[in-house]
Amino acid sequence: MGRIAIVTDSSANLPAELVEKYDIHVVPLKVAFGERVFRDGVDLTSREFYRMLREADDLPVTSQPSPGEFEELYARLAPEVEAIVSIHISGALSGTVSSALAAKEAMPSLPIHVVDSRTTTIALGFIVLEAAQIAAAGGSLGEVLARVRGMIPKVTMYGVLDTLEYLRRGGRIGRAASLLGSVLQIKPIIYLSDGVVDALERPRTKARAVRRMLEIMEEKVGADPVHVAVLHADVPDEAEKLREEVASRFRCLEEPLVVELTPVLGTHSGPGVLGLSYYTGEDGGLERR
């Protein structure tokens, strides 16, 4: 006993090697093309998904894990740990937190702390990694929860979309709906504001939008040491170019991660997304190489 288990969902976009290294338990969301249902990041690779998405006549449907799936995992962990910290995608974007809370209610004898991260993709992943590192080092439940709560307002995420159509069709457009119907051809920069999608700026070209993301990050970060990840949806060459720019321009605490949006996230963003997630920190932080 004495160990704290860290649970998250597949929207955290964590590379498999980090999940294994820090013993993170990932519950997959689901995506369905018609009658074919796939577990996010398990049954379908990102490459296969984006090919299917481009060829599909209808947008696939996504769904959160069921309470039963969380209850099964929590029950399996219960004999081995003293507590579970379960950190998930924004409740404004998914019912995943609700499913986790329902499972918690069914298991009152085990301390389970369900946390709404108010974010998603690798921004959520950063929070989970920090929690998992503390737990792996023998940190207490209080220390893990304090780090998680402190991280939520620190982690920033921006993304440049090729189109708002996927967000609109998937019902996740949030406050960015104000951009719909614009007569201008734009490549909006979106972000999450209190867990809801919002529009930051509306550049007219993707190149300009990417430049503005970097400029905004520079305004926020300055010369502070920073943890950074580049996220993308089926544009690996653009992501690598952005990674190189970030590595040369900022005081990165480690090599920037590059992650591809999982099928569930890609359903709502569409292909072509390019983004950044980051938070400032001190040297000697996460070891992710």
Model confidence pLDDT, tens digit, residues 37-55: 999 989 988 889 989 988 8
Give the Cβ contact number of residue 62 at 10 Å: 20
For 8-37, the pLDDT digits (tens) are: 999 999 999 999 999 999 999 999 999 999
The C-alpha torsion from 100 through 105 and 111 to 116, rounded to 10°, is 30
Higher pLDDT, 128 or 266: 128
CA distances from 173 to 16, 156, 170, 266 (A): 29, 18, 8, 14
Q: Where exactly are the structural domains of the chain? A: 4-29+64-151, 156-280
CATH of domain 4-29+64-151: 3.40.50.10170
The pLDDT of residue 1: 42
Query: What gap in Å lies between CA 211 and CA 242, rounded to an integer?
Result: 10
At residue 56, the pLDDT reads 84
**Overall average pLDDT of the 94-113 stretch:** 95
pLDDT on residue 283? 42
Tell me the CATH architecture of domain 156-280. 2-Layer Sandwich (3.30)
Query: Does 284 score more than 70 pLDDT?
Result: no
d(CA 30, CA 62): 6
41: phi > 0 → left, psi -120 to 50 → alpha, else beta; which?
Answer: left
**Quick one: which H or E segment has residue 216?**
helix 206-221
